[in-house]
Structure 1
């Protein structure tokens, strides 16, 4: 089974490409067990993402909110939205998803369609995600369009590009006519988003160094107690746990992608104590770093 690794830069921007400049869309049929961390870790990308849960359930987290997605549910994740998906079902969560550039739907940046029907939604930084439920008629129609488009994308017969685009444009049309408030004046970005963005970028750039809460707080010009409140309110975690999770995520990638010793990896990632690194890694992924490397490098 393939291992999926979501590599990000120091700002959390995903480095994987989706489609190409001539057809800026990619579709994925994924099981959470295929991801090396058995979750889709925190990341963001410029593309829109459309997800449908085929089997199982997942918890979607994003700044200032979260959603529970059961089998049959779907979600629209907006452009530039930092998000994470974790499994909540006892069975292996199975999802299909499209990752696409806004121009796939709107065409050229100076086109009427792009500026009137795509840009207002994708540039709305206060809009992170919209849940789609098969229990609501217009949302079920969108889900049907996405599922149908995915079947055509998977088959890839002659002209599939036209058919996929047509169905996703239909889905976008249904969203637009049923959510007219999306085109009203865009509310300003919340202060919490601005502050969190500054702090997470700092963490992603300096995770290999010793980080104290006072360092994080100073980046956003807030108190240490406010820093704790910010993380609990927006990401439902603590600053320390966020740092630890990011370091362990980077460790998992290095264990698979490099031949660096486990000792060197622990020091490179700012753990200092190799025993502490191994302990936390096993707590998180139910295996030692050595076992993890042996398991995944041999796939």
Structure 2
């Protein structure tokens, strides 16, 4: 089985393709065993994302309203809302981790009959500057949100009244989320875009497009975002709590892992493809991270792809 990964364009942007029926909506049940490194790498999309964890353990990283990277761990029946355009990633922490996820386009509530609802119930959240909202299975009211997401993801388009049932569940999810949102007393004034956040997006996009180059420097990354070397360090520390080179090396290693599992290329070829200077350095760094050699790792994972 070939492992999957997110299809990102223009760097970190995921273009969500909505279902071609009356209700613009995407729903899915995902097993992270089917994805490279059991993760969805850092990305953003225009749609509103609702996720509940069905089984296993996973960890979200979301850029919060202060443009810092916040970690949220989910247990079964916990859930999370990701606002439009918020940077986030997801990592499964154990095998057979399964989520139910639905994504709504920002235009979902722009039907003429929904405009009043949009102004009173949608815009306060989408313009709040709050990038995510977490709910726990321990809260009975919030637990209904998770149950509703799972029900929505399991609907069959062949069901009589599928569109009505979908709208019913979406409205229930949004109503309960709005109540939870207001109970947390979040500031509902839209905050201006953070300059460091925009710079990080430009730099990360450059890394994703040029990680194969073996001699990338912090100066190269800073130039890509048209900022100074010092500001490049400050932005990465403020948003990702990493240095620019730490992020670059992490990304190179994740790509190397993917090539090891999904291709038959030699370790030497993968070393060059991922921008590592020598095979010995790559092997040392790989062992430090995975506590095994690249060749042994490939053999251990071969059952996944065969």
| TM-score over 0.5 for the pair | yes
1:128 aligns with 2:131: yes
User: 141, 144, 159: which is aligned to 1:141?
Assistant: 144
Q: Deviations over 1:158-186 (max 9, x none)?
A: 43343123101211122234435679431
Conserved? CA contact 1:102–1:118, under 8 Å: no
What is the alpha-carbon distance in structure 2 between the residues aligned to residue 224 and residue 69 of structure 1? 36
Unpaired runs of at least 5, structure 1: none
Unpaired runs of at least 5, structure 2: none
What is the alpha-carbon distance in structure 2 between the residues aligned to residue 20 and residue 257 of structure 1? 29
Equivalent position SS for 1:152: coil
- Seen in structure 2, the aligned counterparts of structure 1 residues 99 and 177 have a Cα distance that, compared at 3 Å, is same
Q: Deviations over 1:222-273 (max 9, x none)?
A: 5545433432332233322211222233334445666655433432332232
Output the TM-score relative to the length of structure 1.
0.80
Q: What pairs up with 1:1-299 in 2 under 5 angstroms?
A: 3-14=3-14, 17-22=16-21, 23-63=23-63, 64=68, 65-88=70-93, 92-103=96-107, 105-108=108-111, 112=115, 115-116=118-119, 117-119=121-123, 121-122=125-126, 126-153=129-156, 157-180=159-182, 184-209=188-213, 210-220=215-225, 223-255=228-260, 261-285=266-290, 289=294, 292=298, 295=302, 298-299=305-306
Judge which range, 225-234 or 175-184, deviates more.
Answer: 175-184
Equivalent position SS for 2:281: helix
- Seen in structure 2, the aligned counterparts of structure 1 residues 252 and 91 have a Cα distance that, compared at 3 Å, is closer
Judge which range, 203-212 or 274-283, deviates more.
Answer: 274-283
Conserved? CA contact 1:203–1:243, under 8 Å: yes
- Seen in structure 2, the aligned counterparts of structure 1 residues 132 and 262 have a Cα distance that, compared at 3 Å, is same
- Seen in structure 2, the aligned counterparts of structure 1 residues 279 and 295 have a Cα distance that, compared at 3 Å, is farther
RMSD: 3.4
- Seen in structure 2, the aligned counterparts of structure 1 residues 199 and 101 have a Cα distance that, compared at 3 Å, is same
Structure 1 residue 130, shift from structure 2 partner = 0.7
Q: Deviations over 1:37-92 (max 9, x none)?
A: 1222222222222111223332211221232323321000112222112244x664
Structure 1 residue 13, shift from structure 2 partner = 1.9
Name the count of aligned residue pairs: 294
